[in-house]
Amino acid sequence: MSNQHFDVLIIGAGVSGIGMACHLKRECPGKSFAILERRQSLGGTWDLFRYPGIRSDSDMFTFGYHFRPWTGAKVLADGASIKHYLADTASEHDVARHIRFGLAVKTADWSGLDKCWKLTALNEATGDTEHYTARFLVGCTGYYNYDQGYKPDFPGECGFRGRIVHPQHWPEDLDYAGKRVVVIGSGATAITLVPTMAERAGHVTMLQRSPTYLMPLPSIDKITLALQNVLSEKAAYRFTRARNISISRFLYQCSRKCPKLMRWLFLRIIKRQVASSADMRHFTPDYNPWDQRLCVVKDGDLFQAMKSGKVSIATDHIDRFTEHGIRLKSGQELTADIIVPATGLDIQMFGGIRPTVDGQEVVMKDKIIYKNVMVEGIPNAGMIFGYTNISWTLKVDIAAEYLCRLLNLMDRRGYRTVLARDTDNSRGNDTVLGSLNAGYIRRAADRLPRQGTHGPWKSSQNYLEDVKILRFEPIEDGYLAFDGKRKHASRRESDGFLRPLRSALFGT
């Protein structure tokens, strides 16, 4: 079977993969590339999840790509709208025809002899194995397992007479009208599911082990609508994007520097949203703001559903499932026809692919990341890994730009290989997602690469700092080895620092 060779192979056709492909088209127009996607449609997360109310929990003016403004009025867009935006972006930039659907990449091996990646992919429709080679590989698979979400084994669940449905595998035929529903969890999925299901269900109970910090956010940005009436579409988008980035950064930094003050502020906001009789222990986390992700409540819908009596919250631990619901440690029993364990994700890297270098498997937990776009010791490979504290796509844009800069520099210099080398013993204990303390991240500690203690090996959640590093700082910085030799910055490569700071906010 003949090999298919490309300059760049992208794994995954979600937000990251489509973004990377568009940047290649814009900044490396001579490069041949293909996107290998296991599913039969693009969209990644926004094609996989189909549960009621699925939407973004980041504002769309920063979630949209900087090169293709989000022009809708919705701040928090539904999943179908986001997928439509991705499809239109792929079509507009002529990358849709480069996607190979239905291909599950099984192996990826770097050949030092041939200076290329060799991949095998299973065509899941035909059962045939296809072979690909590429000069450069970019992983755009996100960070969770698409085949299975995380669900604990609950005692007694086999005896439950109702239906158990995980949000990651929502059945199209599920009829919950008039039913009693218990949603287990208090994260973004639960916060979205509970008020949406309450519109048709008889009653919905959100069962949480511990509360989450919540922030009500209007679904329509009236200020942006007013700006669109007096400014050009591009100017209104730039202003809104810059404003939202600044607000997000401000809230995150304040939460880190003044956690007690921000805790008081967040809880005061919630207290004004809920009924005066509400028990605030259901809304008072036992950790500081942004130790875990903040959850957005669209138009305060969760609080309105609680006031109407359609939704209730139980804060307790599960003792066991029963025939008719869930018995809690306190002895209370929650009656349910349907139980939805919104209990999180199963984390994995590179879509479960275990890359090898000259036949030797790369053990991710033993590696550290370089500028959050490469992994030490893996040649000619990048990964697009978005933010966890602000919009994922902000990082997609600048990481893709960086990889395009790297590819163009290699062409100019005639380099065939690039490798990030840690010669300073920089390895730390925190994972690439170490800024968050969520359970799904702790469970995956043995599968994630580490970050370093300093320099380009330390993972940043600071967008403006990353803009400086990825968009402006020299590629040849002394940490990368090209064709086996480390190169230091040239004056030409350093000229990027002279570009105006407005690019950090507007992406121009």
Instruction: Judge whether residue 349 has pLDDT over 60.
Output: yes
**Phi, psi of 239, deg, nearest 5:** -65, -45
Q: How high is the pLDDT of residue 501?
A: 46
DSSP 368: B
Q: State pLDDT tens for residues 142-162.
A: 888 888 888 889 999 999 999
Q: How far is residue 457's CA from residue 428's CA, in Å, rounded to a whole number? A: 9
Read off the pLDDT of each residue in 153-173 and give the average, rounded to a whole number.
94
Q: How high is the pLDDT of residue 500?
A: 40
Looking at the fold, whether 409 and 325 belong to one and the same domain comes out as: no
Looking at the fold, whether 134 and 171 belong to one and the same domain comes out as: no
- Is residue 385 included in any domain, yes or no? yes
Q: How high is the pLDDT of residue 483?
A: 93
What is the β-pairing status of strands 180-184 and 338-341? parallel
Which residue type is seen at 340?
V
Look at residues 360, 391, 423 and tell me which one is the last residue of a structural domain. 423
- Is residue 447 included in any domain, yes or no? no
Looking at the fold, whether 22 and 114 belong to one and the same domain comes out as: yes
Q: How high is the pLDDT of residue 492?
A: 46
The CA–CA distances, whole Å, from 499 to 331, 371, 468, 494 equal 64, 20, 10, 11
Looking at the fold, whether 15 and 123 belong to one and the same domain comes out as: yes
Give the Cβ contact number of residue 294 at 10 Å: 18
Percent above pLDDT 90 for the chain: 68
Looking at the fold, whether 17 and 136 belong to one and the same domain comes out as: yes
Least confident range from 87-101, 303-317, 433-447, 460-474: namely: 433-447
The CA–CA distances, whole Å, from 275 to 162, 296, 307, 406 equal 32, 19, 6, 55
CB 325 within 8 A of CB 333: yes
Quote the pTM value: 0.91
Which residue type is seen at 184?
I
Token pair recorded at residue 502: 């407005």
Looking at the fold, whether 86 and 182 belong to one and the same domain comes out as: no
Looking at the fold, whether 335 and 223 belong to one and the same domain comes out as: yes
Looking at the fold, whether 195 and 290 belong to one and the same domain comes out as: yes
Q: Which domain holds residue 133?
A: 4-146+346-423
Q: Residue 451 — very low, low, confident or very high, per pLDDT cuts 50/70/90? A: confident
What CATH number corresponds to the domain at position 218?
Answer: 3.50.50.60
Q: How far is residue 138's CA from residue 141's CA, in Å, rounded to a whole number? A: 9
The CA–CA distances, whole Å, from 280 to 190, 242, 285 equal 18, 34, 10
Q: How high is the pLDDT of residue 497?
A: 40
Instruction: Judge whether residue 58 has pLDDT over 90.
Output: no
Tell me the average pLDDT of the chain: 90
Look at residues 389, 423, 457 and tell me which one is the last residue of a structural domain. 423
Looking at the fold, whether 326 and 180 belong to one and the same domain comes out as: yes
Looking at the fold, whether 323 and 219 belong to one and the same domain comes out as: yes
Query: Which secondary-structure segment (H or E) carries 145?
Result: none
DSSP 176: -
Virtual torsion, Cα 12, 18, 19, 24, nearest 10 deg: 100
Domain total of the chain? 2
Q: Residue 491 — very low, low, confident or very high, per pLDDT cuts 50/70/90? A: very low
Looking at the fold, whether 172 and 313 belong to one and the same domain comes out as: yes
- Is residue 250 included in any domain, yes or no? yes
Q: What is the DSSP string of 10-32?
A: EE--SHHHHHHHHHHHHH-TT--
- Is residue 469 included in any domain, yes or no? no
Read off the pLDDT of each residue in 345-371 and give the average, rounded to a whole number.
90
Q: Residue 234 — very low, low, confident or very high, per pLDDT cuts 50/70/90? A: confident
First to last CA, the chain: 44
